[in-house]
Amino acid sequence: MLEKIKKAIDDLYPEMVKTRRYLHQHPELSFQETETAKFIASFYKTLGISYQENIGGYGVVATLNGGKPGKTIALRADFDALPIQEENEVPYKSTVDGVMHACGHDGHTAQLLALAKAVRPFQEELPGTIVFLHQHAEEYAPGGAKPMIEAGVLDDVDAVFGTHLWATTPFGVLQTSKSAFMAGADRFEIIIQGKGGHGGYPHETNDALVIGSQLVTQLQQIVSRRIDPLKTAVITVGQLEAGSAFNIIADKAKLVGTVRYLDAAIQEQIIAEIENMIKGVCMACGATYTFHYDKGYPPVINHPEEATLILEIGKQMEEVVSSDEVVPVMAGEDFAYYMLERPGAFFFTGAQKESNPYPHHHPKFDFDERAMPIAAKILITAYFKYQEQG
């Protein structure tokens, strides 16, 4: 039966591409995915697979109960887009100004829908139950995974698997880890309050822009000099906003950034070190500050047995070029919340497009669509293999 389902997935490739390109042309931002959710629900209605809408927000959950006893396994795909103006000149270019599928979530949705269609004719022969988790709002914390879990999507689930089409990994390469796979991702904001004034009279002011610039540099010393070199951490200041004119000294500066980590103890150390650094710089410069820190998604920590299962599947599939255990990446993913609740694994399906070298979240991002059926076949194979485990 598995081989027949894989054949059906290959046969559905043209439809998969059509779906992906439709979604690419009609992207919606996190927590605003009303039409995308309706599209997904309509697809399951046409298939005759039972589904629920508006789960934890705009989440859609479809359930296919097999005709034979077995485990309940969830397969997850996300479907939100990003606030990016697309720069690709392709027939399926985004039609929404300032919004783009720049991370592959359109492909994730297309491959899971095609998988559902491929499996549907075999329902009576199917062991166990497949739960198709279509999750909204992965890109923007607090994300869609947590409210969907709180709404009960994992209540009867034995394991959960997910994949990300990874455009910086060569086509057909499977990558995962048996432990930490993706980083925890937090956000912080710092407001420096100085004293503004005339650009020609700096001695009468307290330049918030200069203080903010010092702080950008000083924060980098936390990782280089305060964190154990054998631990992994990143502190990035992505925004520094200050000033209104070339001859006015700024009275206020805002710094916004992100912290990435794999170890919760390192996260807590970094929070304390950042505030100590802000306090020290501001005290030395005679400024005041406010510091706000948002703990975002925790790290994606795969379960060893389930990750090993994925790696073994990759080694046995001829479409997979290689199946590799890799070191963690410092991007974040709210799939982490599923891993805190149930056994499972998250993996990358290599989807690098030779003619398009641009990374995720870039205005020219794209991926090799031939990776979609590979991802779908790995997911359904994981479903069957997990059924066989004791």
With vertex at residue 176, the alpha carbon angle to CA 182 and CA 359, rounded to the nearest 5 degrees, is 60
- The answer, yes or no, to whether residue 79 has pLDDT greater than 80, is yes
Give residue-wise pLDDT tens across range 126-151.
Answer: 999 999 999 999 999 999 999 999 99
User: What integer is the mean pLDDT of 361-381?
Assistant: 98
Q: Would you say 78 and 135 are in contact if contact means Cβ atoms under 8 Å apart? A: yes
Residue with tokens 């706000």: 292
d(CA 17, CA 36): 16
Topology annotation, domain 2-181+299-388: Aminopeptidase (3.40.630)
Handedness of CA 134, 138, 139, 143 (dihedral sign): positive
What's the pLDDT band for 310 if we cut at 50, 70, 90? very high
Topology annotation, domain 184-297: Alpha-Beta Plaits (3.30.70)
- Domain boundaries in the chain? 2-181+299-388, 184-297
Both tokens of 366, joined, read 């794209």
- The answer, yes or no, to whether residue 361 has pLDDT greater than 90, is yes
- Is the pTM higher than 0.85? The answer reads yes
Give residue-wise pLDDT tens across range 218-247.
Answer: 999 999 999 999 999 999 999 999 999 999
User: What integer is the mean pLDDT of 256-270?
Assistant: 98
d(CA 77, CA 286): 50
Q: What share of the chain is helix, strand, coil (3-state, %, to 5)?
A: 35, 30, 35
The secondary structure of residue 303, as a DSSP letter, is: -
User: Which residue, among 16, 1, 3, has the nearest Cα to 116 in the 3D structure?
Assistant: 16
- The answer, yes or no, to whether residue 304 has pLDDT greater than 80, is yes
Binding residue numbers: 103, 105, 139, 164, 361
Question: Would you state the pLDDT for residue 206?
Answer: 97
What's the pLDDT band for 390 if we cut at 50, 70, 90? low
Q: Which residues are catalytic?
A: 80, 138
- The answer, yes or no, to whether residue 114 has pLDDT greater than 90, is yes
Binding residue numbers for Mn(2+): 103, 105, 139, 164, 361
HSE-up of residue 73 (Cα within 13 Å, Cβ side): 24
d(CA 87, CA 250): 35
Mean pLDDT rounded to a whole number for the chain:
98
Roughly what angle, to the nearest 10 degrees, separates helices 105-119 and 371-388? Answer: 50
User: What integer is the mean pLDDT of 70-76?
Assistant: 98
Both tokens of 314, joined, read 């990759």
User: What integer is the mean pLDDT of 20-33?
Assistant: 98
